Amino acid sequence: MPLKTCDKGHQFYKTSDCPTCPICEKDRKPTEGFLSKLPAPARRALESKQINSLEKLATFTEKEILSLHGMGKSSIPKLKDAMDKKGLTFKTPD
Render pLDDT for 65-78 as a digit per residue (tens, 0 to 9): 999 999 999 999 99
| Residue burial 15-43, b: 16+ Cβ < 10 Å; e: rest | eeeeeebeeeeeeeeeeeebbeebeebbb
Indicate whether 30 pLDDT > 80.
no
Q: Which domains does the chain have, with CATH numbers?
A: 1-30 (no CATH), 31-94 (1.10.150.20)
Render pLDDT for 47-65 as a digit per residue (tens, 0 to 9): 999 999 999 999 999 999 9
Indicate whether 27 pLDDT > 80.
no
Q: What percent of the chain has pLDDT over 70?
A: 97
Report whether 6 contacts 14 (CB < 8 A): no
Render pLDDT for 4-19 as a digit per residue (tens, 0 to 9): 888 888 888 877 777 7
